[in-house]
Structure 1
Amino acid sequence: MPVHDRIEAYRDDLTAIRHDLHQYPELGFEEHRTSALVADKLAEWGIEVHRGIGKTGVVGVLAGKHEGAGRIGLRADMDALPMEERTNLAYASRNPGRFHGCGHDGHTTMLLGAARYLAETRDFAGTAIFIFQPGEEGCGGARAMIADGLFDRFPCDEVYALHNAPNETPHRIGIKPGPAMAGADFFDIRITGCGSHAAMPDKSRDPIVVMGALVQALQSVVSRNVRALDQAVLSVTQAHAGSAYNVIPEDATVSGTLRYLDAEVGTLLRDRVRQICDGTALSFGVEIDCDIRNVFDVLVNTESLVDAYADAAGDIVGPDAVYRKTKAVMGSEDFADMLNIVPGVYCTIGHAGEVPVHNPAFILDDDILPVGASLLARITERRLRPDDSA
Structure 2
Amino acid sequence: MSDSRYCQIEDLADARAQLDEIRHHIHQHPELSYEEADTARFVADKLQSWGYEVTRNVGGHGVVAALKSGTSTRTVGVRADMDALPIHEQTGLDYASVHDGKMHACGHDGHTTVLLGAAQQLAKTRNFDGTVHLIFQPAEEAGSDSGAVRMLADGLFERFPCDAIFGLHNHPGVAVGTFGFRSGALMAACDTVKVRVNGRGGHAARPHLAVDPVVVGSSIVMALQSVVARNVDPNEAAVITVGSFHSGHAANVIPESAVLEMSVRSFSPTVRETLEARIRAVVNAQAQSYGATADIDFIRGYPVLVNSEAETAFAREIAEELVGPDRVIAPFPPIAGSEDFAYYLQQRPGCFVRLGNGEGQPMLHNPRYDFNDDNLTIGAAFWTRLVERYLAKAPA
TM range (shorter): over 0.9
Please point out which of 371, 376, 380 is paired with 1:369. 376
1:128 aligns with 2:135: no
Check the 8 A contact 2:176/2:372 in 1, yes or no. no
Which has the higher mean CA deviation after the structures are superposed, 189-198 or 250-259? 189-198
Q: Give the superposition deviation at 1:5.
A: 4.1
Please point out which of 256, 273, 285 is paired with 1:267. 273
Please point out which of 221, 227, 246 is paired with 2:227. 221
Deviations 1:133-191 (A, max 9, x none): 11212242211211121111111001111111121122111101221111121111122
Distance in 1 (alpha carbons) for counterparts of 2:90 and 2:337: 23
Please name the residue that 2:260 is paired with: 254
Query: What is the percentage of aligned positions where both structures have the same residue?
Result: 44
Please point out which of 54, 76, 84 is paired with 1:72. 76
1:13 aligns with 2:22: no
Distance in 1 (alpha carbons) for counterparts of 2:343 and 2:337: 15
Which letter maps to 2:74?
G
SS of the residue 1:295 aligns to: coil
1:37 aligns with 2:42: yes
Distance in 1 (alpha carbons) for counterparts of 2:343 and 2:73: 24
Distance in 2 (alpha carbons) for counterparts of 1:43 and 1:317: 31
Please point out which of 28, 41, 44 is paired with 1:23. 28
Q: Give the superposition deviation at 1:203.
A: 4.0
Q: Give the superposition deviation at 1:6.
A: 4.3
The TM-score, its normalising length taken from structure 1, stands at: 0.94
The TM-score, its normalising length taken from structure 2, stands at: 0.93
Distance in 2 (alpha carbons) for counterparts of 1:268 and 1:197: 39
Distance in 2 (alpha carbons) for counterparts of 1:35 and 1:198: 56
Which letter maps to 2:256?
E
Distance in 1 (alpha carbons) for counterparts of 2:313 and 2:115: 21
Which letter maps to 1:249?
P
SS of the residue 1:10 aligns to: helix
Which letter maps to 1:316?
L
Which has the higher mean CA deviation after the structures are superposed, 211-220 or 264-273? 211-220
Check the 8 A contact 1:182/1:259 in 2, yes or no. yes
Check the 8 A contact 1:159/1:344 in 2, yes or no. yes
Check the 8 A contact 1:67/1:386 in 2, yes or no. no
1:96 aligns with 2:100: yes
Please point out which of 116, 121, 124 is paired with 2:120. 116
Q: How many aligned positions are there?
A: 388
1:325-364 matches, within 5 Å, as: 325=331, 327-354=333-360, 355-364=362-371
Distance in 2 (alpha carbons) for counterparts of 1:57 and 1:201: 56
Distance in 2 (alpha carbons) for counterparts of 1:384 and 1:274: 49
Please name the residue that 1:53 is paired with: 58
1:162-181 matches, within 5 Å, as: 162-181=168-187
SS of the residue 1:296 aligns to: coil
SS of the residue 1:123 aligns to: coil
Over aligned residue pairs, what C-alpha RMSD do you find? 1.8
Which letter maps to 2:91?
T
Alpha-carbon distance change, 33 to 242 in structure 1, aligned in 2, over 3 angstroms: farther
